[in-house]
Amino acid sequence: MKKNTIFWMAAFVAGMVAIPGQADAMHLSEGILPFKWAALWSAMALPFVMYGLWQVKVRGGQDVSFKPLLGLMVAVVFIISCMPVPVPLAGTCSHPVGTGISAILVGPFISVVITAAALLIQALFLAHGGLSTWGADIMSMGVMGSFAAYGVFRALRSMRVSLGVSAFMAGVAADWATYFMTSVELASGIRGEEAFVPLLIKIAVAFVPTQLPLGLLEGAMTAGMVVLLYRKRPDLLVKMRVLSAKEAAV
* pTM listed for this prediction: 0.82
Please give the average per-residue pLDDT across 203-214, as a whole number.
Answer: 80
| Partners of 3 in the β-ladder | none
| Partners of 92 in the β-ladder | 87
**Strand duo 85-87 + 92-94: pairing:** antiparallel
* H-run or E-run covering 107: none
Give a yes or no: residue 50 inside a domain.
Answer: yes
The pLDDT of residue 209 is: 77
Give a yes or no: residue 21 inside a domain.
Answer: no
* H-run or E-run covering 117: helix 108-125
- Rounded mean pLDDT of the chain? 81
The pLDDT of residue 196 is: 84
Cβ atoms of 138 and 51 closer than 8 Å:
no
Give a yes or no: residue 184 inside a domain.
Answer: yes
Choice between 205 and 248, residue whose per-residue pLDDT is larger: 205
The pLDDT of residue 80 is: 84
Give a yes or no: residue 69 inside a domain.
Answer: yes
- Percentage of residues in the chain with pLDDT exceeding 90? 38
Write the DSSP assignment of the chain as a string of letters.
--HHHHHHHHHHHHHHHHS-------SSPTT-S-HHHHHHHHHHHHHHHHHHHHHHHHHHHH-TTHHHHHHHHHHHHHHHT---EEEGGGTEEE----HHHHHHHH-HHHHHHHHHHHHHHHHHHT--S-STTHHHHIIIIIIIHHHHHHHHHHHHHHTT--HHHHHHHHHHHHHHHHHHHHHHHHHHHH-TTS-HHHHHHHHHHHHHHHHHHHHHHHHHHHHHHHHHHHHH-HHHHHHTTSS-HHHHH-
C-alpha–C-alpha distance, residues 216 and 235, integer Å: 28
Read off the pLDDT of residues 70-122 as tens digits, 9 standing for 90 and up. Answer: 888 898 888 888 776 665 555 555 678 889 999 999 999 999 999 999 999 88
Q: What are phi and psi of 167, to 5 degrees?
A: -70, -40
Write the CATH number for 165.
Answer: 1.10.1760.20
Give a yes or no: residue 139 inside a domain.
Answer: yes
Read off the pLDDT of residues 128-171 as tens digits, 9 standing for 90 and up. Answer: 767 888 888 999 999 999 999 999 999 999 999 999 999 999 99
Residue type, 204: A
pLDDT classification of 189: cutoffs 50, 70, 90: confident
pLDDT at 186 over 80: yes
Please give the average per-residue pLDDT across 181-199, as a whole number.
Answer: 81
Containing structural domain, residue 174: 35-242
Cβ atoms of 89 and 230 closer than 8 Å:
no
For the chain, the domain total comes to 1
| Partners of 86 in the β-ladder | 93
pLDDT classification of 26: cutoffs 50, 70, 90: low
Give a yes or no: residue 207 inside a domain.
Answer: yes
The pLDDT of residue 214 is: 83
Read off the pLDDT of residues 221-244 as tens digits, 9 standing for 90 and up. Answer: 999 999 999 998 888 888 888 887
Give a yes or no: residue 28 inside a domain.
Answer: no
| Partners of 94 in the β-ladder | 85
C-alpha–C-alpha distance, residues 26 and 40, integer Å: 20
Radius of gyration in angstroms for the set of CA atoms belonging to the chain, rounded to a whole number: 19
| Partners of 93 in the β-ladder | 86
Give a yes or no: residue 8 inside a domain.
Answer: no
